Each structure stands twice: as structure tokens, then as C-alpha cells.
């Protein structure tokens, strides 16, 4: 058995791995993910050789419901910060938040000399960085399928793929030890809207010996081929023609091709259009600039002028297809939107499917819309109002057949998705022992065309971002928020005179979200007496404010749990006598 190594620091040169004796950082190529494995989101894949690191994508993950008050989840950048001098390039495959959303946080932690991004993604990144006033210091270089990036050890090329956003690229990385393909997010659509997949280039790459394929696993559980975006466009056009009154369509702001088709259908049917939701407004602005959204700007109506347009001539496109509480559609449904109220006879179209976990929220919005008089249409097998941007199982197998990798590493997916994708790879001819199902932080070693699993882990803890705090929140803060949500809080207010080291009166106990005060007066009175007695005993000797706080916690926490089987957060509040405070200040 080889010696176990648990750290890969900036100055490490040689390490020993299971199956990879005498690994040499100068000669072998290291491959690892800081995000995107075992989860859908925060994609970030790193390729390291000697004194160079290139990164593919830098995304965020949106928090689960139990992460109270958290805006984003980002990867831990500690390893990159330690090795910041090695980073030569950040390469972006496309412009979705789970691939570009982490860039502002990464730049604040670790300077990146060059960011390479396709046209639409570049515009979105520029918009994002300008809002955070970091654009002037960032060199963003536009790339396409003909671009080539050359460093000392890496040569990077690209090929066109199809996704739900324009200018989506797959990546070919040539290293001193072999060739790696990272697909980015993709699907195969035989009647696409926009640029087609470059089947010929993919096949050519596959004919030139690819050592490792890293491929999108999101829809590995879905059989067959996904519905064409053009079929969805036809369904939306038919609905737009048949709708007698006002049409309100909600979809993902990031689904640019869908957004373009909705707006085009509305204009073709003689309707004016309005866009609600900041993220959607940003995407439409960039889409119009690049003519990805190809309609005349004269058809757009400002939100405050919507009610001046006849209902049958109006189409509103808005965010909120996932039932987000503050999104435009939720505010319209609840009657709190500034400019739009549901008129009986309005038709609301959900051009999306609920993301797992959002079903209840979406159902609640639908019920509220129906309650106030709207006709609601959702995606069904009989009404193709949505299609995925990710490859289903047969499309994933087609990618495997085109690239013909010797080794395979499924990426971008929860563990079950990665597992099923690896099984598909085996069915297409990849040996089972050549498939690597990894977690964030696991490392693979590429040596002379062969891939090995390394017995080393890169630090990859998730970082929780609250507002503009790029340092992230500690686990203890998240834990406190969960306790507050589940068990509430109890504050013990104590008045003392530090000059005489005496407690001046019985403590006061205040509760919020813990128990109903009127029904728990005996509990609170007993708690006050226990704290009072404990403090009197302790203050027979000299004690610090810290000692008093610990005594209050140690007294209250076990008592409250014994009586209620709940663990509220106990907050001690020590009030010192005014004269004592004046004496202390002088």
C-alpha cells in the first residue's frame, strides 16, 4: 500500500498515491473539481501541471430552503488562493449562473489574469462585474469555436454545442500527458434554434485519441431524446394566436432561446411586449444587442404603460416560473406588483418545469392565479411548453460515441446522476475500471495517456454567501439560524453593580418563538429564580462578564430542554449600574 498524502500545498513536489507511485507535480497532470460533483450547481473544474493551473467555469449554487438567509453557495477557493501564482486562465463554457455566478467572489479572493468567455457569456460577466465595480481590473477575452489558448503546458480549443443559452462551447484541453474534453452543458437538437452542434469537429476530436471525457450528467436518468426547442416555439406561437386577452408568460431568464421565441411569437401575432424582472431585463438587453432576440425595440412597452395597451394586444414576459416569493409573477399573483394586476380572462403560461423542491411554491402561485381569475397553462406531454437544455441518456451516449474516450469522468450532477451516466459510458464501450465517479476535491492523475485515482483531496468545503459578504458565513451562524427557526430564542436580562460585585434585582426572561408567554408564566418564573440563585452564588467571588454569561447559559439551557424538549438560543444580557460604568470609563 502506498503512503497516504492528505494535502497538496503550493510547495509540494512529490507525493505518493494509491496506484500512482512517485507522483511528480512537475511531470504529471492533476484534474479535480472544486464544485459540480454530487450536486447541480457551482461548477468549477481545475487542470494543474507543474506551475500552471487552468480553470473551467466558476459558478454558484442557489441555496436549499434550510440555508436560511443565504444568497449563494460558492466553492472554497483556499487551494487556488495558495496557488494563485499558478493560475493562467479562467475559461467559461457558457453564461449560466451555475457557471459564471462565482466569478465576482473568485476575483475578490484570487486575482485572475485572463478570463476567456464566449460572446454572450462575456456580456453577462461584464454586466455582473460592472455592478460590483471590478470590470476595469479584469481582462475578459471573447472566444468562439475557432479560438485557441496557448500556455506553457496547455493548449485549449473549442467546439460548438447546443444549450438553452447562445454561444455554448465544449472544451478540448491538450496537456503534456494526454487530451481532455470537458463538454460544458449540452444537448443534441436536430432542429435547433441558433447555432448547431459541431458534430464533425466532435467526431474528429474523437478520432484523435481522447484520454479523458468529462461530460454533463444532469439528465442521465431521462430516457430518449429531449424535445426540440423549435417544437416548443411552435406550441407557444399557437397559444399566442388563440389567446383572446392578455398573455403573461413566465420562464427562466437564462433560457435566452425560449425568451427570443416568446417575444417573436408575440410580435408576429400583433402584440406589444413588456419584460418584468431585473435578470430578464438584463438578458433581453444583451440579446437585443447581439440580435439573438431579433425584434424591433419599438414593440417594447415600459411596465408603467402596460395598462394603456388593449389586453388582446399585450404580452408580458416575466420571471417567477419557480414560484420565487419576490419574483415578478409572485407579486402579480398576490396583487402587490406596482404595474400589473390580474384581469379576469388573462392567460398565464408557465414555459418551464418546476425544479425539484419548488413544486409546492409553483403550485401555490398557480392556485393564487386561478383564484384571481387567470387561465393558467403548464407544460404537459400534450402541450410542449418547455424542454430541457441538458442532454438525456441517449444524447449523452451519442457524445460518448463521438468523443470515444479511453477514460470517463461524469460531471455536473448529483451522485445518482453521475452513477447512471457512468453506466451509460460502460454500455458504449468504456471499461468499468476506466470510469471515475468523483466527489468535489477528489483528484485524478493523467500520466502518459493513462488516468489514475489519486489518494489526495483538495480542500472543497462549501462557502455560504450572505449579501455582499464574500468571506462566507461560518457553519455556526447557519446552525444558529436553524435553531432560531426551529426553537426560537430566550434572553436573560441581568442588572449588576460591578463596583460591589452584586446582582441588583431578579433577572428578566424574554422569549421569542420559543413558548407562548401567557401559558408558560410558571416556567419563566422558575427560570428567573434559578438564574438569580446561580448568579448570587457565583458573585460571592470576583467574576467577569464572560463568567456571568456562561453561568446564565449553563443554568438555562439544560433546564429549558428538560421542561420543553427544545433547545432555544439563550442570549445573556448584562446591564451594569450607571455609576459603575462612569467609574469604569474614567
Give catalytic residues, as residue numbers.
Answer: 216, 390
- 545-564 and 521-538 helices cross at what angle (nearest 10)? 150
CA distance 480 to 322: 28
What length does the chain have? Answer: 586
Taking the C-alpha atoms of residue 248 and residue 322, their distance in angstroms, rounded to an integer, is: 15
d(CA 482, CA 60) in angstroms, rounded, equals: 22
**Angle at alpha carbon of residue 566, lines to 560 and 570, rounded to 5°:** 55
Q: How far apart are CA 302 and CA 445, in angstroms?
A: 55
Helix (H, G, I), strand (E, B) or coil at 72: strand
How far is residue 476 from each of residues 118, 308, 314, 479, 481, measured CA to CA in Å? 39, 52, 50, 5, 9
DSSP 568: P
Cβ-based neighbour number of residue 174 at 10 Å: 16
Q: For residue 82, what is the enclosing H or E element? A: helix 78-82
CA atoms within 13 A on the CB side of 473: 20
The answer to whether 34 and 441 are in contact (CB under 8 A) is: yes
Residues 422 and 215: their CA atoms lie apart, in Å, by 10
Amino acid at each position: 500500500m502506498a503512503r497516504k498524502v492528505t494535502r497538496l500545498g503550493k510547495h509540494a513536489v512529490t507525493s505518493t498515491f494509491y496506484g500512482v507511485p512517485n507522483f511528480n507535480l512537475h511531470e504529471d497532470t492533476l484534474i479535480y473539481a472544486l464544485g459540480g460533483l454530487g450536486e447541480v450547481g457551482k461548477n468549477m473544474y481545475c487542470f494543474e501541471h507543474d506551475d500552471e493551473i487552468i480553470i473551467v467555469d466558476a459558478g454558484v449554487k442557489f441555496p436549499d430552503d434550510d440555508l436560511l438567509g443565504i444568497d449563494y453557495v460558492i466553492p472554497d477557493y483556499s487551494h487556488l488562493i495558495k496557488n494563485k501564482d499558478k493560475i493562467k486562465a479562467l475559461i467559461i463554457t457558457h453564461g449560466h449562473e451555475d457557471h459564471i455566478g462565482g466569478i465576482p467572489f473568485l476575483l475578490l479572493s484570487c486575482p485572475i489574469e485572463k478570463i476567456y468567455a464566449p460572446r454572450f457569456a462575456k456580456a453577462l460577466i461584464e454586466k455582473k462585474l460592472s455592478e460590483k465595480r471590478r470590470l476595469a481590473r479584469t481582462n475578459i477575452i471573447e472566444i468562439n469555436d475557432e479560438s485557441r489558448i496557448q500556455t506553457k503546458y496547455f493548449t485549449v480549443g473549442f467546439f460548438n454545442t447546443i444549450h438553452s443559452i447562445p454561444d455554448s462551447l465544449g472544451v478540448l484541453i491538450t496537456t503534456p500527458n494526454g487530451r481532455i474534453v470537458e463538454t460544458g452543458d449540452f444537448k443534441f437538437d436536430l432542429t435547433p434554434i441558433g447555432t448547431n452542434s459541431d458534430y464533425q469537429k466532435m467526431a474528429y476530436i474523437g478520432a484523435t485519441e481522447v484520454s479523458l471525457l468529462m461530460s454533463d450528467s444532469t439528465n442521465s436518468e431521462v430516457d430518449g431524446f429531449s424535445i426540440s426547442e423549435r417544437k416548443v416555439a411552435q406550441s407557444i406561437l399557437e397559444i399566442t394566436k388563440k389567446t383572446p386577452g392578455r398573455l403573461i408568460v413566465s420562464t427562466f431568464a437564462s433560457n435566452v432561446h425560449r425568451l427570443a421565441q416568446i417575444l417573436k411569437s408575440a410580435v408576429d401575432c400583433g402584440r406589444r411586449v413588456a419584460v418584468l424582472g431585473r435578470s430578464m431585463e438584463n438578458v433581453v438587453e444583451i440579446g437585443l444587442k447581439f440580435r439573438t432576440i431579433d425584434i424591433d425595440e419599438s414593440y417594447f412597452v415600459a411596465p408603467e404603460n402596460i395598462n394603456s395597451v388593449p389586453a388582446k394586444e399585450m404580452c408580458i414576459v416575466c420571471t417567477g416560473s419557480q414560484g420565487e416569493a419576490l419574483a415578478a409573477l409572485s407579486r402579480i399573483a398576490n396583487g402587490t406588483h406596482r404595474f400589473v394586476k390580474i384581469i379576469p380572462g388573462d392567460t398565464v403560461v408557465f414555459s418551464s418545469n418546476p425544479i425539484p423542491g419548488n413544486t409546492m411554491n409553483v403550485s401555490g402561485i398557480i392556485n393564487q392565479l386561478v383564484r384571481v381569475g387567470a387561465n393558467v397553462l403548464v407544460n404537459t406531454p400534450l402541450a410542449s411548453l418547455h424542454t430541457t437544455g441538458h442532454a438525456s441518456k441517449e444524447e449523452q451516449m451519442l457524445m460518448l460515441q463521438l468523443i470515444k474516450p479511453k477514460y470517463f469522468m461524469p460531471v455536473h450532477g448529483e451522485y445518482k446522476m453521475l452513477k447512471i451516466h457512468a453506466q451509460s459510458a460502460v454500455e458504449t464501450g468504456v471499461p468499468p475500471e476506466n470510469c471515475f465517479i468523483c466527489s468535489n476535491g477528489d483528484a485524478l492523475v493523467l500520466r502518459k495517456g493513462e488516468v489514475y485515482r489519486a489518494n489526495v483531496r483538495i480542500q472543497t468545503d462549501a462557502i455560504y454567501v450572505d449579501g455582499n459578504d464574500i468571506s462566507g458565513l461560518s457553519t455556526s451562524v447557519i446552525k444558529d439560524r436553524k435553531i432560531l427557526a426551529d426553537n426560537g430564542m430566550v434572553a436573560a436580562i441581568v442588572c449588576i453593580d460591578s463596583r460591589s460585585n452584586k446582582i441588583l434585582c431578579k433577572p428578566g426572561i424574554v422569549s421569542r418563538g420559543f413558548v407562548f408567554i401567557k401559558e408558560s408564566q410558571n416556567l419563566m418564573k422558575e427560570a428567573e429564580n434559578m438564574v438569580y440563585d446561580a448568579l448570587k452564588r457565583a458573585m460571592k467571588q470576583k467574576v467577569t462578564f464572560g463568567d456571568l454569561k456562561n453561568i446564565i447559559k449553563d443554568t438555562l439551557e439544560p433546564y429549558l430542554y428538560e421542561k420543553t424538549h427544545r433547545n432555544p438560543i439563550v442570549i445573556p444580557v448584562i446591564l451594569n449600574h450607571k455609576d459603575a460604568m462612569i467609574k469604569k470609563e474614567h
